[in-house]
Amino acid sequence: MADLSRRRFLQASMLASGAMLLPGVMQAAWAAGSDKPEQETVRIGFIPLTDCAPVVIAALKGFDKKYGITIVPTKEASWAAVRDKLVAGELDAAHILYGLLYGLELGIAGKPQQMANLMTLNQNGQAITLSGDLAEKGVRDLDGLKKLIGQQVPGTYTFAHTFPTGTHAMWLYYWLASAGINPFDDVRTVVVPPPQMVMNMRIGNMVGFCVGEPWNARAINDRIGFTAATSQSIWADHPEKILGTRREWVEKNPHTARALVSAVLEAARWIDASPKNKRETALILSRRAWLNTKEQYLTGRMLGEYDNGLGTRWQDAHPIRFFNEGAVSYPYLSDGMWFLTQFRRWGLLKSAPDYAGIAQRINQTAVWQDAATAVGGITAPASPLRSSTLMDGTVWNGTDPEGYANRFAIHRKGA
């Protein structure tokens, strides 16, 4: 175990400095000892969303068996249920919101836990839906929404997201604030599990929500709402769901962790390999065991074919992606740090955290590298930091995170 820990430390150091591993180095290291997974069965929790696809496909297409494990996906009712079962050890890992995992580490999404991000499962593919009632009042976009909200008493309109520290909360807050709408002062926000979003909008519990697919497409098909923004229009190629677990589990099961990431990586590559594979994935996910919805609600947006429900159609340049030559899956440290900056912005953290230190503890870059080497044909990025420009023109590159968190004009009072 000491040798393994030392090897992982060296790998992480090389990745952080942008160095690349030499071909065959990891294979030789594994040959020196047994690389058999410590666990043969791995229970993975998931929420019925399109972006659980790599986990489901890894289990159904046998990619797990190739690496000596059996993945058992378990459908959960809410993100809170995923959190509780993961922490309790009822789940070995989970398809989980990026911000939920970081919130757990920091004790702002439950009792503090030492968590691990094994890989990113997908980029893009979420959306903000506004109700048909708002459309009837002339709201078609963010500017129209800003005007309407300004005419009412603060808190008149309610919006929903899926978890307080989750990705959907952060996309919703960022989108509203970009137009001068304070998500804590000007509107009311509530938490609703993804599969319940459409029903709650139908009965008038909220006028808008941010959630993953297929529930935005479902709102359009049910004629109760329209897509006002995609999450990729807020941040192109943003990180979304991750494969999360407890750090203790990774430490006890390093070979299983590598095998799990390898299997899910292969599944992600299979999904993104062709439109045919994406259509097959949509068909599989639509079944009762997984999302229990109509295939038509999944297929279009998986292929990047969008209809906002108001007559505008387009082929999205940044559709949901699961692989993209491995670039999707790499657990960039800067991705995790971004969520920390937003926790600071919205008062969830009262003092500046150790941004880089926390990301280095959580994001398992060495495990990812082991798995990528096992799978083959995947090149690690030159740096664990990447640069992105968000919808309001702000550039995030992982440098000066506290300055970035403090630069926004709109933030939560007391933050």
For residue 107, the Cα-to-chain-centroid distance in whole angstroms is 19
Residues 55-101: pLDDT tens digits?
Answer: 999 999 999 999 999 999 999 999 999 999 999 999 999 999 999 99
CB of 332 closer than 8 Å to CB of 381:
yes
Greater pLDDT, 4 or 231: 231
Amino acid code (one letter) for 297: Y
Q: Is the pLDDT of residue 126 over 80?
A: yes
Sign of CA dihedral 272, 340, 215, 78: positive
Beta strands in 132-207 (DSSP E): 158-161, 188-191
Answer yes or no: is pLDDT of 24 > 80: no
Q: Are 160 and 189 in contact (CB under 8 A)?
A: yes
- Which residue's entry shows tokens 């046998």? 62
**97-118 average pLDDT score:** 96
Question: What percentage of residues in the chain have a pLDDT greater than 70?
Answer: 91
Residue 235 pLDDT exceeds 80:
yes
Does residue 195 have a pLDDT over 80?
A: yes
Alpha helices (H) in 93-246, listed in sequence order:
98-106, 132-136, 142-150, 167-178, 197-202, 215-221, 231-234
* Average pLDDT taken over every residue of the chain: 92
User: Which segment of 188-192, 315-319, 410-414 scores lowest on mean pLDDT?
Assistant: 410-414
Beta bridge partners of 49: none
- 211-228 burial string, b = 16+ CB within 10 Å, else e? bbbbbbbbbbbeebbbbb
Instruction: Give the span between the Cα atoms of 337 and 162, in whole angstroms.
Output: 20
DSSP state of 41: E
> What is the tens place of the pLDDT at every residue in 258-298?
999 999 999 999 999 999 999 999 999 999 999 999 999 99
Query: For residues 258 and 372, what is the distance between their CA atoms, to the nearest angstrom?
Result: 9
- Flag whether pLDDT at 1 surpasses 60: no
State residue 20's pLDDT score: 33
Q: Is pTM beyond 0.95 here?
A: no
pLDDT of residue 128: 98
Kindly report, residue by residue over 373-415, the tens digit of the pLDDT. 999 999 999 999 999 999 999 999 999 999 999 999 999 965 4
